[in-house]
């Protein structure tokens, strides 16, 4: 197999990919650029691609299919940036990554604590020597009811961590887990929204989950609720969230992912005027934390992201099944 890697980071992913090539005996090429119609030619002569969370449109997929690409793997759990129907029609098999849930679960709890303790406001005030306590009082996590939307591997890990803080944990998921019976109370989404002091989202980025938290859902939440999203940006209607923050309905938000973030993360855009007004508005609130979609970012996760992509693409090359294939 000859593998081409797009948007590969030389400061972390490259070493892991090099180790996989040495271990499994395949050739690879790479670029730090995101795949486009203009740079598709870089993958000429290769059999498979590994990418990150950049849009793979029907036009782009067709170009790669014409070049002989028959397998594409994304170094992310989510795969909604790939047009799966187009890939299937073109005969391109698609895979996603897997990595331990602990990094995102730890990060989620960190975001919850930062929001509850008003860490952004406290840190900003301290930078200009405002050490007054006024307006900075927080809440203990153990005093809260936390609603976890989605109890897959990451959501389950979050639930177990929250229980360790003494918080009451409620959860909703189409497939409740018996293994969590001693940790959470499963309820319907409406009940979860109504009773939770903190709502944290861990649902997949499926079309049916688009804007699962909108104006109606926000209205049903407690006054002063804290909202956390370390899953997919499209789960929250950003305009509705901004309205709820401005009205005071939402007391705080901690967002590792937002809508329309493609083309921003993971690039140095420090010298650019960014075409994303919603992000600018959210960043301006003293009670909103916005981080650049990096809850996953641990050494263990990056290693697993690369290795699971390689494993899937090697299976595709051999005509075999892979547990990482998206069907």
Q: Give φ, ψ of 292 to 5 degrees.
A: -85, 60
Packing angle of the helix pair 13-24, 299-317 (nearest 10 deg): 40
Alpha-carbon span 125 to 110, nearest angstrom? 20
Can you say how many angstroms the Cα of residue 275 is from the centroid of all Cα atoms in its chain?
21
Which of the residues are catalytic?
Answer: 232, 261, 293
Q: Which of 251, 199, 246, 255 is nearest to 227 (CA)?
A: 199
> How many other C-beta atoms are found inside a 10 Å radius of the C-beta of residue 80?
18
Q: Which of 228, 206, 252, 225 is nearest to 105 (CA)?
A: 228
Q: Give φ, ψ of 269 to 5 degrees.
A: -110, 25
Can you say how many angstroms the Cα of residue 231 is from the centroid of all Cα atoms in its chain?
4
Alpha-carbon span 221 to 196, nearest angstrom? 7
Alpha-carbon span 248 to 287, nearest angstrom? 10
Alpha-carbon span 60 to 208, nearest angstrom? 25
């Amino acid at each position: 197999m000859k593998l081409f890697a797009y948007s590969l980071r030389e400061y972390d992913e490259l070493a892991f990919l090099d180790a996989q090539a040495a271990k499994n005996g395949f050739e690879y090429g790479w670029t730090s650029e995101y795949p486009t119609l203009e740079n598709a030619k870089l993958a000429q002569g290769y059999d498979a691609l590994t990418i990150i969370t950049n849009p793979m449109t029907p036009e782009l997929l067709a170009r790669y299919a014409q070049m002989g690409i028959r397998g594409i793997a994304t170094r992310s759990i989510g795969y909604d940036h790939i047009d799966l129907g187009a890939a299937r029609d073109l005969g391109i098999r698609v895979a996603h990554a897997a990595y331990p849930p602990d990094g995102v679960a730890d990060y989620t709890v960190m975001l919850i604590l930062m929001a509850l303790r008003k860490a952004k406001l406290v840190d900003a005030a301290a930078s200009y020597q405002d050490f007054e306590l006024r307006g900075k009082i927080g809440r203990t996590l153990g005093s809260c009811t936390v609603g976890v939307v989605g109890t897959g591997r990451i959501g389950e890990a979050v639930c177990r961590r929250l229980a360790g803080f003494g918080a009451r944990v409620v959860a909703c998921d189409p497939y409740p887990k018996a293994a969590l019976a001693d940790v959470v109370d499963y309820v319907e989404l409406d009940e979860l929204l109504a009773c939770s002091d903190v709502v944290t989202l861990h649902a997949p980025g499926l079309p049916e989950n688009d804007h699962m938290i909108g104006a109606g859902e926000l209205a049903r939440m407690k006054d002063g609720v804290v909202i956390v999203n370390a899953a997919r940006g499209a789960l929250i209607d950003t305009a509705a969230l901004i309205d709820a923050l401005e009205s005071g309905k939402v007391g705080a938000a901690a967002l590792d992912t937002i809508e329309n973030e493609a083309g921003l993360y993971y690039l140095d855009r420090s010298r650019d005027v960014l075409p994303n007004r919603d992000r600018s508005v959210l960043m301006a609130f003293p009670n909103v934390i916005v981080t650049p979609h990096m809850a996953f970012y641990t050494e263990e996760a990056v290693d697993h992201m690369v290795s699971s992509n390689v494993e899937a693409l090697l299976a595709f090359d051999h005509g075999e099944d892979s547990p990482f294939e998206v069907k």
